[in-house]
Amino acid sequence: MNQHRSRRTRVVRVDPLEPDPAAIEEAAALVRSGGLVAFPTETVYGLGANALDEDAVRSIFTAKERDASDPLIVHLADVSALASVAASVPPLAMHLLGRFAPGPLTVVLPRAAAVAPSVSAGLATVAVRIPSHPVARALISASGVPIAAPSANRFTRTSATTAAHVLEDLDGRIDLVLDGGPAPAGIESTVVSVEGDTAFVLRAGALTAEDLAAALPPGARVESADPGVAHASPGMLERHYAPRKPLTLVRVSGAHGAMALAAAIRAAIAAGETPGVLLLEEDALSVAPLSPLVRASLGSGSDPAVVARRLYAAMRELDRSHATVLFARTIPPVGLGVAINDRLKRAAARLIEV
Ligand code: TXA
Ligand code: MG
């Protein structure tokens, strides 16, 4: 039998704000006994296992077909649990946690010995986050252990923002999905490491650089880590968060994004393809005459919170459609736009710069 498809995956619906304690206890018992439970967080769905149980953590990598060199985030119920997974917490990290936990901030800290080695993929550090979603919090509290959880998707695919997405990728590979409805932010947490007075953003995410900067203590600063050098995250592969079909990304720096997008789509139609587009409202008129064209709406680029919430669901929708090739364009790089553009770039097989 295929080792990946040996479990029966149960789906249990829970109220996202007041989850049923019996459902949470069932999930917590599975975590304590080494099982795999997918659960909603405020960012995306996580695939959780007991972070202190090496075998359980390894089974996360098996279920996802994730590369063992890509470390996981450990989820805690509150800051008082930090000492169980981190050897120490630098002052700037503590300050940021004090300001943003619970919430979509992940901090990289020196690792405590109790953490299962596979969590950190051999690093001396551990990434830690305290989610704010009531289902995630209830599950971690009831489990009584820290929960290691990557996004609940197959390796290199887009993160799952609904229970249906989790099943698309992991049905038969995990024990349980707590279905708490769509994940509110729709994009992953911001990963930060700290060195003295500098916070390095290793992965842009749901917590914006502007919010981080505004919360810094006097004398501290925030920098985005240059991928490929000293502070980069090992898991930040160039091609990641990707749909199955090849995505062409129009990278817009000027004002002609809609025209460039329409031109690229027109060329694909002329070549006999059926394009699918991640469509911004402001581009709707420009692509209106184009046919055939499969459209998945992202809302307006001026409302990046909506774009973030829809992004992965729209990619999965186009993957399921009869489109043969996919198109998208970047949005203004402010606020959540930075994380959205980052994910689009990693999803892209081809870039057109305009
Ligand atoms: O919002 C999120 O962060 C979601 C939810 C489930 O919490 N989780 C998530 O996990 O996106 P994952 O495994 O898909 O991404 C974890 C990221 C990767 O980019 C990884 O390289 C980085 O965190 N990371 C983990 N441990 C690290 C460490 N010790 N040092 C540097 N980066 C680390
Ligand atoms: Mg992931």
Residues 216-232 have pLDDT tens digits of: 999 999 998 865 554 45
Regarding the beta carbon of 166 and ligand 1, being less than 6 Å apart is answered no
pLDDT classification of 198: cutoffs 50, 70, 90? very high
DSSP-derived secondary structure letter, 176: E
Q: How far is the CA of 191 from the centre of ligand 2 (A)?
A: 12
Q: Is there a contact between 173 and 159 (Cβ–Cβ < 8 Å)?
A: no
Regarding the beta carbon of 188 and ligand 1, being less than 6 Å apart is answered yes
Regarding the beta carbon of 118 and ligand 1, being less than 6 Å apart is answered no
Instruction: State residue 234's pLDDT score.
Output: 56
**Nearest ligand to the C-alpha atom of residue 104:** 1
154's tokens: 């197959």
**Nearest ligand to the C-alpha atom of residue 187:** 1
Please name the residue that has the structure tokens 């990693």: 346
Residues in the chain: 354
Q: How far is the CA of 18 from the centre of ligand 2 (A)?
A: 27
Q: What is the mean pLDDT of the chain?
A: 94
Regarding the beta carbon of 97 and ligand 1, being less than 6 Å apart is answered no
pLDDT (mean) for 80-92: 97
Regarding the beta carbon of 342 and ligand 1, being less than 6 Å apart is answered no
Q: How far is the CA of 75 from the centre of ligand 1 (A)?
A: 10
pLDDT (mean) for 162-172: 97
Collapsing DSSP states into helix, strand and coil, what is residue 343? helix
C-alpha 123: how far from chain center: 21
**How buried is 297 (Cβ within 10 angstroms: 0-12 exposed, 13-18 middle, 19+ buried)?**
middle
Instruction: State residue 231's pLDDT score.
Output: 47
Regarding the beta carbon of 186 and ligand 1, being less than 6 Å apart is answered no
Closest to 107 in 3D by CA, of 210, 205, 238, 31: 205
Q: How far is the CA of 100 from the centre of ligand 2 (A)?
A: 21
Q: Is there a contact between 95 and 118 (Cβ–Cβ < 8 Å)?
A: no
Instruction: State residue 230's pLDDT score.
Output: 46
User: pLDDT (tens digit, 9 = 90+) per residue, 302-351?
Assistant: 999 999 999 999 999 999 999 999 999 999 999 999 999 999 999 999 99
Regarding the beta carbon of 47 and ligand 1, being less than 6 Å apart is answered no
The atom number, within ligand 1, closest to the CA of 203 reads 19
Instruction: State residue 326's pLDDT score.
Output: 98
Atom 32 (ligand 1): residue with closest C-alpha? 233
**Residue 279 reports pLDDT greater than 70:** yes
Q: Is there a contact between 243 and 158 (Cβ–Cβ < 8 Å)?
A: yes
Q: Which of 47, 106, 155, 239 to mutate to test the pocket of ligand 1 (most atoms within 8 A of CB)?
A: 106
